[in-house]
Chains A and B, each alone.
Chain A
């Protein structure tokens, strides 16, 4: 059972378009991280959100954490070819004591065509 569902799985758009990708779960997370992975490289952290309802902006990227801390979205305005990559969300769960589990979604592969 996939704890974190990302949608869409694939997205191909033209330069200048806007897009939103989603990360959903039935579990409540203590934090949620978004990463971008470019071909031939490891994932790189974009943002961490920790408070329900939190909105963070990183230039043309807007990240939102759901009020119930079960879901998150990433909105990109005026996408550029440099935004192409695999976008991964990762939810953090405290499983008791000092145990903390970070679970990754399968990712959204975004292609922005010039």
Chain B
């Protein structure tokens, strides 16, 4: 089954404790992206990757890192999480930038 898999689905952590949210897709997509979704603010892009080893900032990249060492994986790293990063995070992939996105089921992160 074609899918984007995120882990974990739920994560509660404390301020400053480094964490990684994994994302993997099995569709051989070139393009991958991370979004956060907050009430009243909608979906905002954090980082994206056009291909392996190519990443770029989205609209809200501060406090986040990503890497794209393999085509299928695109982890999101929070080196020192803060409470304002409490949010619902989505990973998405597509054939190329601009083609329809396939989203994962989300990771709900709470930073206390």
Chain B min CB distance to A84 (Å): 18
Taking the closest CB of chain B, its distance from the CB of A47, in whole angstroms, is 9
A-binding residues in B (CB < 8 A): 4, 35, 40-45, 90, 92, 97-98, 100-106
A40 contacts the other chain (CB 8 A): yes
Determine chain A's interface SS by DSSP, over half rule. strand
Size of interface on A: residues with Cβ below 8 Å to B: 21
Q: Is the CB of A102 within 8 A of B101?
A: yes
User: Which residues of A, 34-82, contact B by the 8 Å Cβ criterion?
Assistant: 35, 40-45, 48
Contact of A85 with B by CB under 8 A? no
A-B contacts, CB under 8 A, total: 45
- Interface pair A41/B97, CB less than 8 Å apart: no
Q: Check A88 against B103 for contact (C-beta < 8 Å).
A: no
Of the candidates A44, A88, A100, which one forms a contact with B43 in the assembled complex, judged by CB atoms under 8 Å apart?
A: A88
B108 to chain A minimum Cβ distance, whole angstroms, is 9
Known: A40-B105, A42-B106. A31 touches B43 (CB 8 A): no
Contact of B98 among A41, A92, A106 (CB under 8 A): A92
A41 touches B100 (CB 8 A): no
Residue A104 interfacial (CB < 8 Å) = yes
What are 9 A-B residue pairs whose CB atoms fall within 8 Å in the complex?
A31-B98, A42-B105, A88-B42, A88-B43, A102-B45, A102-B101, A104-B44, A105-B42, A106-B42
Tell me whether A33 and B100 are in contact in the complex, defined as CB-CB below 8 angstroms, given that A41-B106, A42-B90, A42-B105 are known contacts: yes
Q: Shortest CB–CB separation between residue A62 and chain B, in angstroms? A: 19
Contact B90–A102 (Cβ < 8 Å)? no
Chain A residues with CB under 8 Å of B102's CB are 45
